[in-house]
Structure 1
Amino acid sequence: MATPQQRTPPPSVPLPAPDPSVRDAADVAADLGVDPATGLTDAEAARRLAHDGPNELRSRPPVPVWRKVLDQFRDPLVALLLVAVAISLVVWWVEGAHGLPVDAVVIAAIVVLNAVLGLVQESKAESAVAALRSMTEAMSTVLRDGRRVTVRSAELVRGDVLVLGEGDAVGADARLLTATALRVQESSLTGESEAVLKDAAVLPAPAPLGDRFDMVYKGTAVAQGVGRAVVVATGMDTQMGAIARLLDSTEEEVTPLQREIAHVSKVLGLTVIGIAVVVMVLAAVVNDVRTPADLVTVLLLGVSLAVAAVPEGLPAILSVVLAVGVQAMARRSAVVKKLHSAETLGSASVIASDKTGTLTKNEMTIQRVVTASGEVTLTGVGYRPDGEAVAGPADGGGPLTDEALTREAVMVLGGGSLANDAQLTRADGEWTVQGDPTEAAFLVAAHKLAGTVDRVAGFERRGEVPFTSERKLMSALVDPPGDGAWALVTKGAPDVLLPRCTDVQVGDTAVPLDDELRAAALAAVERLSGQAYRTLGVAYRRVPEDTGPEGLEVHESDLVYLGVVGIIDPPRPEVATAVAEARRAGIRIMMITGDHPVTATRIASDLGIVEPDARAVTGTELDELDAAGLRETTRGVSVYARVAPQNKLQIVDALQADGHVVAMTGDGVNDAPALKTADIGVAMGITGTEVTKESAKMILGDDNFATIVAAVRQGRIIFDNIKKFLRYLLSSNMGEVCTVLFGVVFAGVLGLEGAAGGEAVVVPLLATQILWINLVTDSGPALAMGVDPETDDVMARPPRGPHERIIDARMWTGVLSIGLVMGLATLLTIDIFLPGGLVEGGDDLTVARTAGFTTLVLAQLFNVLNSRSETTSAFHRMFAGRWLWAAIGLGVVLQVAVVEVPFLQVAFGTAGLDLAHWAVAVGMASTVLWFDELRKLVWRARER
């Protein structure tokens, strides 16, 4: 039976309605059937846990291995290669199944190799929701049967009374019952850089997530103070659970490179089928095919054409090239989780970045100190106390020589360090803080102004009046070393502190705070606030030495005002340069943050993202826009503040709908859905939460925004190199197609029919020779092109459009024309050495075919130099890529071997060539180079 203090709720305890933040805490507790003084009983907590389930986030079931394997074979080009394997096996079987089906075995091996590469790379990533779950594994202190007990956060239930203290992780969403100087770090959930002061008082109206001061949320942490709260939501009903649902319903975008390769594969597939059918029909008609043996020969010709037209190694080469690029990025601390995402970053037209911890250091820093005698600027950022104090503003000040100003600044920073609960420590050369980041800023600043640390050394705290939201002040009773008088040092909001002051410190003397000095102090506060600084005033008064620690609030009057400090979470020093480089590359930088609009605009202006007079749009404003208004806003506004997770998704979706390739950076839980939706999500490796790392496609190991720009450059280099080897592979394979196609059609003109010895179907090249070209001559140079160094300034051009083809009209023109020249040169070489035809020769078909085969191989090696650029001469930086020349040299050596080594002659149907044959082959092959040089010259003339 329920006790009078604790009512048994219905079997399913509903989430208190309406919003708990606008209801009295006692009423919320009553609805949940709990006495705030004693908490739930163990039995009741167990019953609720059994009914509602653990306080955990749902995770998607793991994808089975067989499904992952099948996914590797969904690419159209892979499907086409599998069809080629099947046809090769049929032909091999019809011909009597003699020996191994070499064509089928080699192509199948390449397909399997590509699948293995894909599986190995993608197996490194776990699901984002599972990361959320592991991130929240923690312990919580609750009241059970009137006793404080520690339980796993997964065992929390609605109605549990949380006992919160400094350093605790908040285990569930809860309505505050009490709060004493309670500050909660919510940056991972809301993006707010400062710890949020909490208050148990009822909110007058519903507020955005970051402004619900009477609520605490799962996944956040207590930075300062103590409090108690009643749990109102667990598991998937929490705000973090809502984010997990967003992740569940968010589909990952296909990368531009994947879309383009799929398009190329479709075009190649249709082209191959069309060409193969046409050639088989022509061969059957021209050669008067009647017997089954002749029909098999024609079918073999079709397979040969398929092998010639399809770059079988393309998927594997693409994976290897991307892997090499990914390794280069990793050396620059940019870890790409999926290969295809490497190129996507190079296509980014917008980088939508979180502010806290990404563009800024997430380390509160005092930059300005304003006193009665003037202003002091402190250089250096973050918790590392490197920097100095200068008089006046940093860009127009000078050495701090004014003794009065120096003394006043020392007293301000010293006073703030005494009325302080934070700690600054150094271990192994690294500086760390414990406690509230704002209070830590005073400790860091004290090290930058000479004499400040020494001035406060030896002071002992005798009492304290903690900070509360009602008072907006904190005071510390301090006893100086020696026989000095005790003092009460107070810091807090200037608008609250100044009315309690009757004097102001000027040098060594306290003078009356008249109307003129008071107006000057208020003007300084207003000026700093207008510059996006958070302001804190510092004051003091002498008190008797026998003053006790109780009742200190009565002494918080008749204070001597020392001055005000301006605090800000500063930008990372390297970010401004990175932003400028990105803008030079035509990339738009946007800031999306949960911080205050004034602060967001100030930081964005300092970094060069926007002009100083730009405005920030808030999440509330975004909620009021329709789809058209949202797209219009995202076209012109680059700073968004006080945004919720769904707002980030809206912004990314609007940008993508407008045709942008979006890179989204972030570090907090609230960034995860947007990171997953963006074309490429970039997570911070040091400050980022596990969920953002798992949701993202790329992780910055050094949390350095400049690394993103370096990755963009590498991504563009990767894209350029992909175009190089695609240009090479397609034009070279087109040369093979033209050779076979025109060789069959014009066999009589070229003298092939007369030299064939009565064969039903005559082909200029054997299927094994075509396969040799594809596997040996194609793969090495293509791989070398994948690691070719940057030839032009890739950051001097705008991003590639999302609908811009890798293989555009210009490239297709080059591919077809080079392929045609390659085929004509090969066939003309065969004709030169065969009796009859256009040119009279005296060799048999094997020698002539070997010469043509060699011409085609050498032409493709010349084409390596052509393919490094679409418009730039092959002689420009000709020897820059040593791997290219190694590949060319290897190709020449292998071709000499296949022509001159006896057992290879048998395997590939070749014959030895004399010097004259080699000279003709080299000369005919070089026509490819001279033709392309002429074509590029025409293109450059047109561009000029």
Structure 2
Amino acid sequence: MTSGTSSRPSRPSSVSAPAADDPSDPSLREAADVARELGVDPVVGLDDAEAARRLATDGPNELRSRPPVPLWRKVLEQFRDPLVALLLVAVAISVTVWWVEGADGVPVDAVVIAAIVVLNAVLGLVQESKAANAVAALRSMTEASSTVLRDGRQVTVRSAELVRGDVLVLTEGDAVGADARLLSATALRVQEASLTGESEAVLKDAAVLPAAAPLGDRFDMVYKGTAVAQGVGRAVVVATGMGTQMGAIARLLDATEEEVTPLQREISRVSKVLGLTVIGIAVVVMVLAAVVNDVRTAEDLVTVLLLGVSLAVAAVPEGLPAILSVVLAVGVQTMARRNAVVKKLHSAETLGSASVIASDKTGTLTKNEMTIQRVVTASGEVALTGVGYRPDGEVRAGPDGDGGPLTNEPLLREVAMVLGGGSLANDAQLVEDDGEWAVQGDPTEAAFLVAAHKLAGTVDRVAEFERRGEVPFTSERKLMSALVDPPGDGAWALVTKGAPDVLLGRCTAVQVGEGTVPLDDDRRGAALDAVERLSDRAYRTLGVAYRRVAEGLGSEGLEEHESDLVYLGVVGIIDPPRPEVTAAVAEAHRAGIRVIMITGDHPVTATRIATDLGIVEPGARAVTGTELDGLDGPDLREATRTVSVYARVAPQNKLQIVDALQADGHVVAMTGDGVNDAPALKTADIGVAMGITGTEVTKESAKMILGDDNFATIVAAVRQGRVIFDNIKKFLRYLLSSNMGEVFTVLLGVLFAGVVGLEGAAGGEAVVVPLLATQILWINLVTDSGPALAMGVDPETDDVMARSPRGMHERIIDARMWTGVLSIGLVMGVATLLTIDIFLPGGLVEGTDSLAVARTAGFTTLVLAQLFNVFNSRSETTSAFHRMFAGRWLWGAIGLGVLLQVAVVQVPFLQVAFGTASLDLAHWGVAVAMASSVLWFDELRKLLWRARHPGAVA
């Protein structure tokens, strides 16, 4: 039995239907004519020599894959980042200055920056290689094969070796290796969900189509990438490789351009802004330094140039590319441990920015396991608990099962006869392997076997019957019958199941308890009302009936006995939602993310599932692909703003939806498993393929693959993506504000050298600066590496799913962050210069120390201020004391930074290298106190912001 709907629904095509007069369409031609044109005898098949010749001419039956990217190109890709280019320019300038100064020693700053650039490239290569290996591990390890006729013999060949003209021999469980025109079909049903999105297996018929039809309605064709669910058949191959429908979709993928991620766009923008800013600041400082210090000699000019380069190095966060790669890599590894394999590092953050998740239904939101949930008989209605193929559950009285365990004897007997009869008129099998249950055959038929296990004694009773014959299902009859021999000496029975309206037309009586009564108009009307009620609730309906027949009746002429039947009842079948999806959808909604269902199924079924999962409210409507085709740009965008369920859609409709959402400013995550999903997955900001049920084309197109096909994993990945984004903002806030502190220290120190006493303490120095170039480099090494990296892997400190997604055009570094960055940098610079002033003679405060000591104290103040700034930067609005001890890596990095600073100040050989002098406790006390001003200033700023924005979520 293969179909229980009263009419066979049409489905959308993955490609446009051919013109009615297209002579090349094999679905519109007799099978014998197609075989004759291909030069093959359908009874004998091709001979080996001819098959080899055609294979050499046409090429293997494989989809064209892109050539592997050579290693040198992968390496160059790592250096395309504008910030990396800026760092390479800084290296060139540093080497030039080193050369002008006489090439004495090693150009430390150039070496360090170059090492960071190389480290960043290595990290990117390693992580992308790991992701590629993880994707490869998800692929099937077995090579597809097909059974064909060669020289009149059935042989098994690699599907890649199929050629046009090969005669496929199709049996239950086979994968269809190529597009083919059916020569014969007996109860042949093919699962085409991977190609059309239709969850129900499609009945096939070798008869020629009367007119051109969409792909899903070409019932005389079978297609590469689909699977035989039931029956047998033979077909002649008409297309292989890129000439198949799968190949058509693969070509569509080649024409679909990938968008750069929001993070890549933002980092590129920040890099350009930083580049221009650095150049501007460096030029201004060099000019001011030259004017203020009255530079006249070449030696003085080199000193000024070195100051400009040092300031450029201070302003540029050299560690940003490496830290960004590390943060993304750590996040990607965390996702991988949770079965979400991200193929590109930057895609991890994009998922966290998603404002819409557009998901396929079958196998993604649902289990793809047809389940009987309702049975209606003459005495009432019952509900069956449990979902999927595991035969756990029970039969409960009442439409919703609220009547408790079924104890009503008449109703109990009727339900047992319905489930038993459906299990007898059945070609499927239910098998268990190590506790895992699976079906062989049509999933709808298997639903009866599973349901029978839930009613005590039914399976044992069915096992006692012996099958003597059958009448297979056909689309014209919409029925299937089985002739069974009951145990003992009882009369044989003909058990029939099929479309309820057709079945009722062949019934004259109805089962009531242990007896039968005539099927009068009232009872017939009640039965039809039950069918309509189930259909309105999105159940697929199948009726079951029987009649007694003479013992010894054979299969010949059995169809004539499908009349005067006794109607038993009707079942309601549905593909149940995955149990964890409801909570995942609720979590997505809490995070401000719309969940959209896009499916090839019937609108009623789609709406019912979407309602059950909480995607839409009760009463919401679905928009079909046909309706979408009639919408222009503005109307389409308006529809996508309000509609969350799309049914009977074709791949081009999915692309329309994704494009409309993106045009409306959304970051779209598109999930799917079938070939028909691949173009939309590639177009979406983040394409998410199913690792278990997904096709290879889909996995290649996606940016992320779910190893467990679990929708809840997507939401978990969204959370991790948001944590990644938060951590990126943390270390950007930290790096930029700290580096601005260095810029303001040098800039204000040059401008106000006389005010803070630097001019009077110059001694023999031609150009007086508050910090030496080596000290600036040291600050970058100590504070821009460890603390920034620790912030990048900081644990989630706030509920990241309690806020709405950031807008498509929302800046990572927005006006509020820039205000904080500049204000904190200014406080750092002022605190550093005031510390220098405190210890120098003259200036605002009279001191008694040498320039070396005062500069060392200022140098230490700036380092400690940046370490205090670690706590500020964890949030723009939350107090630094909130969960201050949550990140152990932060404390480790801060502790290491303090130890290194003590060493560079107190260890003699480091004093020589970095121009420092020893400090006593008083100096250290002043430096700590002045550095802490950064923390108190930012606490006051956050307090004022929270007072102005009570209840706001940052």
TM-score normalised per structure 1:
0.95
1:838 paired to 2:841: no
Offset at residue 440 of structure 1 (A):
0.8
Equivalent residue for 1:216? 222
Distance 1:838 1:266 in 2: 39
- Residues 271-291 of structure 1 show CA distances to partners (whole Å, capped at 9, x for unaligned) of 001000111111122222222
Q: Relative to 1, partners in 2 of residues 1:489 and 1:602: Cα closer, same or farther, differing over 3 Å?
A: same
Q: Could you say which residue in structure 2 is the equivalent of 1:737? A: 743
Instruction: Find 1:766's aligned residue among 748, 768, 772.
Output: 772
The yes-or-no answer on 1:436 pairing with 2:470 is no
For the 8 Å contact 1:209–1:644, the answer to whether it is kept is no
Mapped to 2, the partners of 1:396 and 1:139 lie a distance apart of: 50
SS for the counterpart of 1:340 is helix
Amino acid at match of 2:830: L
Q: Secondary structure at the match of 2:878?
A: coil
Residue of structure 2 equivalent to 1:727:
733
Residue matched to 1:90: 96
Q: 1:429 to 1:604 in 2, by over 3 A?
A: same
Query: 872, 875, 882: which one pairs with 1:876?
Result: 882
C-alpha distance in structure 1 between counterparts of 2:162 and 2:97, whole Å? 68
**Partner Cα separation in structure 2 for residue 731 and residue 530 of structure 1:** 61
Query: 1:776: how far off?
Result: 1.5
Task: State the distance in 2 between where 1:302 and 1:744 align.
Answer: 12
1:380 is displaced (CA, Å) by 1.1
Aligned to 2:385: 379
Name the CA distance, whole Å, in 1 between partners of 2:628 and 2:134. 27
What secondary structure does 1:591 align onto? strand
SS at match of 1:799: coil
Offset at 1:351?
0.3
Aligned counterpart, 1:404: 410
User: Which structure 1 segments of 5+ residues have no match?
Assistant: 1-14
SS in 2 for 1:163: strand
Kept in 1, the 8 Å contact 2:173–2:440? The answer is: no
- AA partner of residue 741 (structure 1): L
Q: Is the 8 A contact 1:57 1:133 kept in 2?
A: no
Determine which of 803, 809, 826 is the counterpart of 2:809.
Answer: 803
Deviation of the 1:35 alpha carbon: 4.0
1:93 partner amino acid: W
- 1:550 corresponding residue in structure 2: 556
Matched, 1:478 2:484: yes
Cα distance, 1:592 vs. partner? 0.8
Task: Show the counterpart of 1:361.
Answer: 367
User: Per-residue deviation at 1:33?
Assistant: 4.0
Contact kept, 8 Å, 1:619 with 1:641, in 2: the verdict is: yes
**Deviation readout 1:706-751 (Å, 9 max, x if unpaired):** 2222221221122112111111110000000001111122222222
> Structure 1 residues 238 and 624 mapped into 2: Cα distance closer, same or farther (>3 Å)?
farther
1:532 pairs with 532, 538, 542, which one?
538
1:519 to 509, 521, 525: 525
Mean CA deviation greater in 815-824 or 322-331: 322-331
CA distance in 1, matches of 2:142, 2:617: 40
Instruction: Give the equivalent residue in structure 2 for 1:388.
Output: 394
- Report the CA distance shift for 1:133/1:821 in structure 2 as closer, same or farther (over 3 A): closer
Quick one: distance in 2 between partners of 1:619 and 1:880? 50
Secondary structure at the aligned position of 1:753 is classed as coil
Matched with 2:761 is 755
Letter of the structure 1 residue corresponding to residue 913 of structure 2: A
Q: What secondary structure is seen at the aligned counterpart in 2 of 1:462?
A: strand
2:286 alignment counterpart: 280
Output the CA distance in 2 between the equivalents of 1:142 and 1:434: 22
Q: Is the 8 A contact 1:273 1:306 kept in 2?
A: yes
Aligned length: 930
Other structure's SS at 1:503 match: strand
Rate the CA distance shift 1:914–1:124 in 2: closer, same or farther, 3 A. closer
Aligned to 2:496: 490
Structure 1 residue corresponding to 2:200, chosen from 194, 198, 201 = 194
CA distance in 2, matches of 1:246, 1:136: 27
The question of whether the paired residues in 2 share the 8 Å contact of 1:289 and 1:295 is answered with yes
User: Which 10-residue stretch deviates more, 587-596 or 803-812?
Assistant: 587-596
How far 1:404 moved relative to its partner? 0.7
Compute the displacement of 1:930 (Å): 1.4
- CA-to-aligned-CA distance 1:817-851 (integer Å, 9 cap, x gap): 11001001001111111112222111111111110
> Any gaps of 5 or more consecutive residues in structure 2?
1-20
Corresponding residue for residue 596 of structure 1: 602
The residue type paired with residue 649 of structure 2 is V
The answer as to whether partners of 2:382 and 2:401 remain within 8 angstroms in 1 is no
Check the 8 A contact 1:58/1:129 in 2, yes or no.
no
Distance in 2 of aligned mates of 1:395 and 1:86: 77
Structure 2 equivalent of residue 639 of structure 1: 645
* CA RMSD across the alignment: 2.2
Write the distance in 2 (CA, Å) between the matches of 1:191 and 1:543: 42
Amino acid at match of 2:932: S
**What amino acid is the match of 2:481?**
S
Aligned twin of 2:165: 159
Identical aligned pairs, as a percentage?
89
- Aligned ranges for residues 854-873 of structure 1 at < 5 Å? 854-873=860-879
Structure 1 Cα separation of the partners of residues 92 and 210 of structure 2:
73
Contact 2:347–2:703, Cα closer than 8 Å, also in 1:
yes
Partner residue of 1:51 out of 57, 60, 65? 57
Answer yes or no: is the 8 Å Cα contact 1:591–1:639 preserved in 2: yes
CA deviations on 1:95-130 (whole Å, 9 max, x unpaired) are 222222111111111000000111112224559999
* Matching residue of 1:177: 183
| Amino acid of the structure 2 residue aligned with 1:79 | A
Cα distance in 2, alignment partners of residues 129 and 879 from structure 1: 37
For residues 121 and 632 of structure 1, what CA distance do their matches in structure 2 show? 40
Deviation at 1:927, TM superposition (A): 1.1
Residue 348 of structure 2 corresponds to which residue in structure 1?
342
Specify which of 215, 230, 235 is matched with residue 229 of structure 1.
235
CA deviations over 1:468-499 (Å, ceiling 9, x no partner): 22222222222223333322211111122222
Give the deviation of 1:172 after TM superposition. Answer: 1.2
Contact 2:131 2:341 in 1 (8 A): no
Tell me, in whole angstroms, the C-alpha distance in 1 between the residues paired with 2:359 and 2:550.
Answer: 53
Tell me, in whole angstroms, the C-alpha distance in 2 between the residues paired with 1:25 and 1:598.
36
Question: How much does 1:158 deviate?
Answer: 2.6
- Contact map agreement 1:379 1:394 (CA 8 A) in 2: no
Shift of 1:134: 8.5
Q: Does the CA-based 8 Å contact 2:394-2:405 persist in structure 1?
A: no
In 2: Cα distance, 1:504 partner to 1:573 partner? 37
SS class of match (1:750): coil
**d(CA) in 1 for partners of 2:401, 2:685:** 40
Q: Which shifted more, 924-933 or 701-710?
A: 701-710
Amino acid at match of 2:688: V
**Contact kept in structure 1, 2:47 and 2:150, CA below 8 Å:** yes
User: Is 2:294 the counterpart of 1:252?
Assistant: no
- Give the match's secondary structure for 2:808: coil
In the alignment, does 2:898 pair up with 1:892?
Answer: yes
Letter in 1 for 2:859: F
Partner of 1:681: 687
* Partner of residue 636 from structure 2, selected from 619, 626, 630: 630
Deviates more, 1:201-210 or 1:828-837: 201-210
Over 3 Å counting, the alpha-carbon distance change for 1:130 and 1:887 in structure 2 is closer
TM-score, normalised with respect to structure 2: 0.94
Distance, in Å, in 1 between the alignment partners of 2:340 and 2:162 is: 38
Q: Deviations over 1:639-697 (max 9, x none)?
A: 11222222222211121111110001111222122112111111222222333233222
Tell me the equivalent position of 2:718: 712
Which residue does 1:777 correspond to in 2? 783
Q: Which residue of the partner structure matches residue 64 of structure 1?
A: 70
Residue identity opposite 1:592 in structure 2 = I
Separation of aligned partners in 1, 2:53 and 2:231: 32
- Indicate conservation of the 8 Å contact 1:128/1:247, yes or no: no
Q: CA deviation at 1:597?
A: 1.9
Residues of 2 paired with 1:621 and 1:398: CA distance? 44
Tell me if the contact between 1:465 and 1:476 (Cα under 8 Å) persists in the aligned partners: yes
Is 1:454 matched with 2:460?
yes
Query: Structure 1 counterpart of 2:935, which letter?
Result: L
* Offset at residue 149 of structure 1 (A): 3.5
Check if 1:829 corresponds to 2:835.
Answer: yes
**CA 545–179 in structure 1, closer or farther in 2 if over 3 Å, else same:** same
Asked if the contact 1:136–1:171 (Cα under 8 Å) also holds between the matched residues in 2, the reply is no
CA distance in 2, matches of 1:36, 1:601: 45
Task: Tell me which residue corresponds to 1:790.
Answer: 796
